[in-house]
Amino acid sequence: MAYGDKTAVDGLTLSVAEGSITAVLGPNGAGKTTTLETCEGYRKPQQGTVRVLGLDPIADRKQLLPRIGVMLQGQGAWSGVRAMEMLKHIARLHAHPLDVDQLAERLGLGECGRTPYRRLSGGQQQRLGLAMALVGRPELVFVDEPTAGMDPQGRRTTWELLRELRADGVTVVLTTHYLEEAEELADQVHIIDRGRMIASGTPLELTRGGATATVRLVVTKPFPPGARESLRKALGEDTEVTLLDERSIRVTGKADPTTLAKVSRWCEENDVLPESLTLGRRSLEDVFLDLTGGLQLSEGIEHV
């Protein structure tokens, strides 16, 4: 897929298992939305094939559309329409819609049902968008950054709902640039960057560190100069110490029972107060940073 001479998605191969949650993860501009919109039949691929529920999204659009639910990234409603009016309207276009009042209640849209769309908060607009995607009881839903702009409460409600969809046999494909969202929800994660797939697997597969351990140290004040080198010296040559930002360090390498103690002693000697010190498998963020080659590429990545 290209826009003009800019290639947005190139040579991407991914498939989605029925009844699962698949996350397409990547920084802003990675090609997540383009990928989704190609599946939804909005864009025609210049090369390659796309099959959704066995159908061609362009040629078989008429058969496909009633079976999928789509949540766009923002907007998608008249500015003067009331929230519930819009939801009811979409429901009327379907043969067996969900009960709109209960769906709205579930998504916390009860109190803003009579509010015109333009006066809804960003989070409310997102939740209405999700409700519109679900109301037709689709087999497959595409949700584009479902929790962008939501408060933590709304985010958790949405996560619960997406899990419930999976439990009820709905296939969910979501894009996100929140790493924790992918880690939290997805059965399968595809990481894409600049239109190419750079990794895919279950969150566990992606984060499995093998024999190596990862220690993450976050401190309250910026590290003193030379911290990376001195910590590496304290731990031995086999470890790799990466400065993630001015207040966090990641250590990977062979771990033994003394590793944590060594880090802790190093903190004491260097007069830094740990905010958190964790030992464990790599987080999806570590994987992502490794794959995309460092911080400058991950500017679009945010923490939940």
The one among 66, 108, 149, 274 contacting another protein by CB under 8 A: 66
CA dist., res. 218 & res. 111, Å (int):
41
User: CB under 8 A: which stretch of 85-93, 187-195, 225-233, 252-260 binds another protein?
Assistant: 85-93
Q: In angstroms, what is the C-alpha Rg of the chain?
A: 22
Residues 165-184 that bind another protein (CB under 8 A): 165, 167-170
CA dist., res. 97 & res. 115, Å (int):
22
Q: Which is nearer to another protein, 22 or 292 (CB)?
A: 22
Residue 136 lies near another protein (rule: CB under 8 A): yes
Q: Residue 69: name the closest of 155, 131, 161 by CA.
A: 131
User: CB under 8 A: which stretch of 6-14, 88-96, 206-214, 270-278 binds another protein?
Assistant: 88-96
Residue 72 lies near another protein (rule: CB under 8 A): yes
The one among 8, 50, 103, 215 contacting another protein by CB under 8 A: 103
Residue 97 lies near another protein (rule: CB under 8 A): yes
User: CB under 8 A: which stretch of 70-78, 203-211, 286-294, 296-304 binds another protein?
Assistant: 70-78
Q: How far is CA 66 from CA 57, 127, 235, in A?
A: 12, 20, 59
Residues 31-50 that bind another protein (CB under 8 A): 40, 42
Q: Which H or E element spans position 88? A: helix 83-92
Q: Tokens for 158, please give them.
A: 């949405």
The one among 137, 156, 196, 262 contacting another protein by CB under 8 A: 137
- DSSP three-state, residue 93: coil
What is the residue whose two structure tokens read 């750079």? 198
Residue 127 lies near another protein (rule: CB under 8 A): no
CB 148 within 8 A of CB 73: yes
CA angle, residues 76, 79, 81, in degrees to nearest 5: 90
Residue 4 lies near another protein (rule: CB under 8 A): no
Q: How many residues sit in the footprint of another protein (CB under 8 A)?
A: 44
175: β partners? 24, 144
CB 15 within 8 A of CB 181: no
Residue 54 lies near another protein (rule: CB under 8 A): no
CA dist., res. 198 & res. 5, Å (int):
22
Q: Residue 210: name the closest of 253, 262, 243 by CA.
A: 253
CA dist., res. 31 & res. 21, Å (int):
19
Q: Least distance to another protein from the beta carbon of 9, Å?
A: 18
- DSSP three-state, residue 177: coil
The one among 10, 29, 94, 209 contacting another protein by CB under 8 A: 94
Say how many CA atoms lie within 13 Å of 291 toward its Cβ: 22
The one among 30, 55, 134, 192 contacting another protein by CB under 8 A: 134
Residue 301 lies near another protein (rule: CB under 8 A): no
Q: Which is nearer to another protein, 144 or 285 (CB)?
A: 144
User: CB under 8 A: which stretch of 77-85, 185-193, 238-246, 252-260 binds another protein?
Assistant: 77-85
The one among 29, 76, 108, 209 contacting another protein by CB under 8 A: 76
- Residues binding another protein (CB under 8 A): 40, 42, 62, 65-68, 70, 72, 74-81, 85, 89-90, 92-99, 102-103, 105-106, 132, 134, 136-139, 164-165, 167-170
